[in-house]
Structures are given as C-alpha cells and as structure tokens.
Structure 1
C-alpha cells in the first residue's frame, strides 16, 4: 500500500490534512457528479437502502445526482419478495423501480438465486421436482414482472466455493449443478432483452475461486447457456489488493461475456485515520481503472454509497467507513479520486 500513498501525495484534489473532499456545489455541480463524468458505455451505480430511500431527502438527492444506475440491496431477494407461498410483496421493489424511472436511472436486479435468501417455507425435504418447480416459479414471476424495467439481473449469486468448486448449497445437493443453467434459461425466457449475470465475491484477482468461476462460465457458454456477464463483487480491504484485476477481467471478457464491478466497498479498521482514507481512495480508483480498461465492462457499482447504510459493521466487527460518503453524507477522498480518474480518462480518450 506504500505505492498507493506515494501516488496519493501527488494528487491535490482534497484536503490531505483531514481526508475530506468538498461536495459539488453551484452551477458546476452537474459536471462534478460521477454520473456526469462516466463514459456513456458504462453505468455508474449504487446499491439502494430502502429505509433511507423512504426517509432521508439527502440520501435520495445524492443517489439521484451521482448515479445513473441502482441496485436493490435487499428488496428483490426471494425471501423478501415472497415471505409466504404465493403471496408476493412488491412494495419495496416497485418503489425502487419508480425512483429510478423518475431520475433517469437503470435498475440492476439482485438477486434471483442465492443460497442465503431462500424463504423459510421452502424446504430441502421437498422432492427435487417440487424444489425445481418452486425455484422456476420464483425466477419467472420476478423477471416477468419487471420485464423491460430491469436492464440486468444477478441470476445466480455466490455459487463458487473458496477452492473453486461449486458451493455446497441446497440447490446443488437436491438439483445438481444443472440448476445454474436452468436459472439462466428461465430468466432469458421471461425477459429476452435483459442482461444476465453470474455474480461472485473473491474473484476480482487471480485466485482459485476466480479460476473455478472461469471454468464454470466457459462451460456454460459452451453449452449455449445465456450467460451474458460476470459480476465481480469487490468487497475489499486495504491489506488484500486484488492481483491483476484488469488481466483477470479481460480473460473473462475473452469468453464473450461482459464484466461488471457489482458491489464495491473498501472496509477500514476503525477508527479510520486520514491516511487510511487516502489508501481507500486509491483502491476505489484501482477498481474503476480496471473496469474502464476492459472494453466489455458495462457497469461499476458501489455497495451503498454512504456509511449510514453500510452492511460492513454488522458483518465485520471493528471495521467500517467503507463507502464514498460518510454517515453524515459528506463526500470522502474516495469519491473525489473517482472523479479525478473519470476526468483523466475522458482527457485521454480520443473523441
């Protein structure tokens, strides 16, 4: 990380003494938003917290100003959509769709099949036929409802184990590996125009898990399964910088798929010190630069843009401060450096 600090010292886009960037203001504000500077072929997105979307005007304003795409953090997960059999609750997901449409934003659907979000009424004791029918019903019903309103879906989420094999889940145990291809085919039938992604964590660099995902995607594509893209979650920390993310994404792109950074955050050991915020900013820049360097990178999404709604502290005790804005909705060095990277990219890209 020392090289990150050296590079950061050469950049003067924020107050280095306090590690705090000023938010855009005045007539220049539109040109200083992330969505305003993002290349036209790449969406810049954020995961949206439903409670804050309803309750906090500052949250809504920042989400609308900085991002031209949003992902439902929890509203579109199966356990939330269908808490009881056949009784769907579309309230939160419909509200997110409406917000996006009002603000000219694309919606990324998250997620159709995930081992950690299965309604409690779905039982592994069911027959394989009944389980498969329930899963198909969920996928088809959800994608059909939002046909033409969701540009891309995480069809299957986190199906790879750390050693690169398929994750041991209820779906694998009861349905076998074919459930992955089935889910993609069902989603494609329900909305032929939606982009369909496989989404995974721990695969941003050259890891065993990334190799396993590569083999899976290669096999699915060879079998004609409509896998259109690979999502790299990128839940990162300062002492584990991904190895060669550009080369890693490019090898997936060579399979004929798009790539996307889908859930980026960079957690810090608390309390976060100014120099840590600078290193964090450079790791955010590192991942944006990787996306922009790969011609098929379709979107770059941060997993919550404010520390006020970040999932990190609840799941990683002692860590936090992972987002572009702090809990009081003040921009941090990470956002400022993303703006700097986008301006630099625009200057270097032939018109």
Structure 2
C-alpha cells in the first residue's frame, strides 16, 4: 500500500477490549520490556519466523530510519520500488534502480526480501490500464513483465506477491483491466509466469480484509484450494492486516490455520493498526495488545512464516493521507521512539529487555534454541568446506534423529566473529547481525528417521572465521 491509493477500512470484527488497569500496565511496560539487545527480527528468527518492514529507498539516507530498520527487522519489502509503474513505466522499458538499492541494502544487513508486487490494478502505468489491448496481447504483456522483473531478481528474493488485491469485499472478482480483458485465468497465468521466471522464490497471493473468515477470505480460500488441486504454483497467502484500533479479528488464527491446512505458507504482510489521532495512553495500550494478539496468532500457526510491518515509523506512514484523522499505526513514533506497540510485539516474541533508543546499534546475542514437537527431533552439523582471503564456504548437514518422519526443519546459529552469509542454497536464509536462521525448502524438508540432507553457503569473514557453537535444529 502507498500513500496515494485509497484502501477501505478493515472490516470491523470482534473488538479486543482493554481494561483501564491493563492499559496502564501496558503503557508502563513499554519502558521495561521488549527486545533492544537483539531486535524483533532476531527474536522472531529464534522462533523460525521473520519480522519485517516495508522500506522506502528515498528514506534510507536518513540515519535514524536506516538504524531502526537494520536493527529491528530481518526481512524487508520494497514499499513502491518493484511495482509496475516503477519497473516498467513504458512498454518494454524496465527500470530497477530503486528496487536494486533496497535489495543491496538488505543483503548488506542480512535481511531477506519479499518482492511486491508483480500484478496489481493500482499504480499501473496508463499504457497498461488504458491501452485497449485484446486478451492475447495483454496476457503477453503481463507475462513479459513478470518474466523481466522476477527474472531480474532471480535468486535474490525470498518471495513475491505475484497478484495483489484481485477480489471485492463480497468475494467477487475485482473488475481490473486484467480481469475484464483476460478473465478469471489471469491469476493462474501470472503464477505460472512467476514460477518460470524465478523457480526458487515463494509465490504469494496478497490481499486486505481477508484476516477474518468472511466472504472475501473464503473466495480467496476457494481459489487457493482450486490452484492446489490444479497444480498452479502457489506457495503462500499474504494477509495485509491493515487494522483499525481494537479490531483484530477474533478468528484470525483460525483463518490462518485453514489456509495453512491447504498446504501453503501464510504471512501477515502489511501490518499496521491505525487509531484516531491524537494518540493517548489508552489508545496506545490497546494498540499494544492488538500487536501482541496478532503476533501470537501467527506464532500459533506452524506455517505462519512471518510478519511485515507496513513502515518503519509513524512519520512516513501512508495512513494519515488516506484516512484523515487517523494515524500513529506503527511501532515507532515520528521521532523513532519505541511505542507500547513495540513492547506488545516484543513480549509475544519472548523479549525481556528495555526498549531501544533511536540510535541504539544492533548487537549480537546467542540464538535461542528452537524446539521440536514431541517425538520429532533433528540435529545440525556445521563444517567449513573451504576458506580464502576474506571469504569461505560452509555446509550444514541436517539429520532426522527421531523415531518419526519430520515434515520440515529450522537450523539456528550465531556466528562468533561477525561473519556474513552472502549466498545460500538448499534452504531459506534469514540473518540479522550474528544470528542466522535457515529453514528447509519445499523439496528437502521431509526426512524419514535417520535420513539427512545438506545445505550450503558462501560467506564473508574478517579477522577470524570461528565455527559457531551451538548449532541447533528444530523439526516440524
């Protein structure tokens, strides 16, 4: 979402009421709990998740903005830099400067990147929306766009929002130029083109007001179910989660779970919780409880892979421009001070230290050992394959050490000498500071008892290249 595009308010579902006593406690807790020592991203990584943010390239030159983004988040989503109007402003002419800058920044700070978005009715150049193309031509244009943009970032992104906001509130299809010209099949065609362009990226459908069980989310559910039955390559569903204060759906977790049960990952992809301004202690406390609740909902669903906040700071949020009278939706205020909402999320993730100051630098801390369900276990063995100048190659062997088959694994370690992973294969990487989390790919997560698999990586080192200890593994 951007500041210039209207989005209707989130559907008012079950309100999470906060008592005055709870409000007072939550506001007071903002100064005593959270995750400054490790950052939210590192806390999430210890649980096999990510906590991300939308990044705007034009703000990265602001020191406080970059400092908070780099310290707190282990995943980023370009806010506007990969949308159609930015990447193909005129037919066949592609521009990647802004997107490349964000990818380069993320790689330098050990953050994974979600691409956003390949096909969307909004922020679409007029040559596409008003081109008057027939179905065959527009299909070819769409496929070419996906091939070029996803192909340009091949191997560099964790995931793509392939199609964004294709449904109306009543569950019918939005009458975008793609829908009216190509028909229902355009979404499947887009996913097929994305898989061909970047076979390793996770492919997501992304939408708003689908956080609870309603007509819109059910229509998306039925589409995903059909895609899985038809072999259309879809790997995940993104729930934007633009919410109004006190309106976290009571069935959020159940809804995430029903999608996960279809065999796809789920993620909260554009999270903010807006309030009528000015903020006060009661509103901030309710917002904190809302962030705590949505974080717990994700953590309680095994296939909920992470949460992305739609912005670093209230200072640059899209909300006030689109919803007059509303604002203050994020974890950090206009001056980059952590709000009670930061504590709400940090507490859900297990944080116990004081809130960070805007200038606080990231600091390494030992990774928390992940846990496995009863009867399932795995081990991870780290070795250095080769080393040169300031680079090295590593390999990790993951073995099923339990009596039951496992369906997935997560490996975590902390580098002792500040090493950085530069490229990884046969796994999905998240690195924040010294802490590294690697999760299985779709093809190597299932291991029978005594079976094993490996993933490898290259990295940079300086001064020393000690092996991490411990290297922990959790099975799922």
SS at match of 1:93: helix
Q: CA deviation at 1:135?
A: 0.7
Superposed CA RMSD in Å reads: 2.2
User: Using a 3 Å threshold, how does the CA distance of structure 1 residues 93 and 22 change in structure 2: closer, same or farther?
Assistant: farther
Report if the CA contact (8 A) 2:41-2:72 is conserved: yes
Q: CA deviation at 1:30?
A: 2.9
SS at match of 2:321: helix
Q: Identify unmatched segments of 5+ residues in structure 2.
A: 1-14, 353-367, 373-473
Report if the CA contact (8 A) 2:16-2:290 is conserved: no
Report if the CA contact (8 A) 1:5-1:278 is conserved: no
CA distance in 2, matches of 1:98, 1:171: 32
Report if the CA contact (8 A) 1:324-1:334 is conserved: yes
Bigger shift: residues 338-347 or 155-164: 338-347
Q: Which residue number in structure 2 is paired with residue 192 of structure 1?
A: 199
CA distance in 1, matches of 2:339, 2:246: 20
29, 51, 74: which one aligns with 1:44: 51
Q: Which residue number in structure 1 is paired with residue 127 of structure 2?
A: 121
SS at match of 2:18: helix
Report if the CA contact (8 A) 2:53-2:311 is conserved: yes
User: Using a 3 Å threshold, how does the CA distance of structure 1 residues 137 and 2 change in structure 2: closer, same or farther?
Assistant: closer
Q: Which residue number in structure 2 is paired with residue 210 of structure 1?
A: 217
TM-score by length of 2: 0.68
Equivalence map 1:242-261=2 (5 Å): 242-261=249-268
SS at match of 2:315: coil
CA distance in 1, matches of 2:132, 2:16: 53
Equivalence map 1:226-237=2 (5 Å): 226-237=233-244
Report if the CA contact (8 A) 1:23-1:330 is conserved: no
Report if the CA contact (8 A) 2:47-2:370 is conserved: no
Bigger shift: residues 40-49 or 93-102: 40-49
Q: CA deviation at 1:85?
A: 2.0
Residues 292-342 of structure 1, C-alpha deviation per residue, up to 9 Å, x if partnerless? 000001121110020111000011011000010001111100011211111
User: Using a 3 Å threshold, how does the CA distance of structure 1 residues 6 and 246 change in structure 2: closer, same or farther?
Assistant: farther
61, 66, 72: which one aligns with 1:60: 66
CA distance in 2, matches of 1:134, 1:22: 54
User: Using a 3 Å threshold, how does the CA distance of structure 1 residues 183 and 7 change in structure 2: closer, same or farther?
Assistant: farther
Equivalence map 1:129-168=2 (5 Å): 129-168=136-175
Q: Identify unmatched segments of 5+ residues in structure 1.
A: none
1:311 pairs with 2:318: yes
Report if the CA contact (8 A) 1:206-1:243 is conserved: no
TM-score by length of 1: 0.92
Higher helix share: 1
Higher strand share: 2
Residues 238-283 of structure 1, C-alpha deviation per residue, up to 9 Å, x if partnerless? 2433131111110001100000000000001011111101101111
SS at match of 1:317: coil
Report if the CA contact (8 A) 1:22-1:331 is conserved: no
Q: Which residue number in structure 1 is paired with residue 96 of structure 2?
A: 90
SS at match of 1:121: helix
Residues 175-224 of structure 1, C-alpha deviation per residue, up to 9 Å, x if partnerless? 01110000000000111111000001001011111111111111111111
Moved over 6 A (4+): 344-348
Report if the CA contact (8 A) 2:16-2:247 is conserved: no
Residues 140-192 of structure 1, C-alpha deviation per residue, up to 9 Å, x if partnerless? 10111101101100000001110011111111110011100000000001111
Q: Which residue number in structure 2 is paired with residue 178 of structure 1?
A: 185
Report if the CA contact (8 A) 2:33-2:347 is conserved: no
Q: Which residue number in structure 1 is paired with residue 399 of structure 2?
A: none
CA distance in 2, matches of 1:7, 1:47: 33
1:15 pairs with 2:15: no
Equivalence map 1:74-85=2 (5 Å): 74-85=80-91
1:107 pairs with 2:113: yes
Q: CA deviation at 1:49?
A: 1.6
Residues paired across the two proteins, number? 342
User: Using a 3 Å threshold, how does the CA distance of structure 1 residues 90 and 279 change in structure 2: closer, same or farther?
Assistant: same
Q: CA deviation at 1:344?
A: 7.0
Q: CA deviation at 1:124?
A: 4.5
Q: CA deviation at 1:10?
A: 8.1
Report if the CA contact (8 A) 1:228-1:258 is conserved: yes
User: Using a 3 Å threshold, how does the CA distance of structure 1 residues 243 and 168 change in structure 2: closer, same or farther?
Assistant: farther
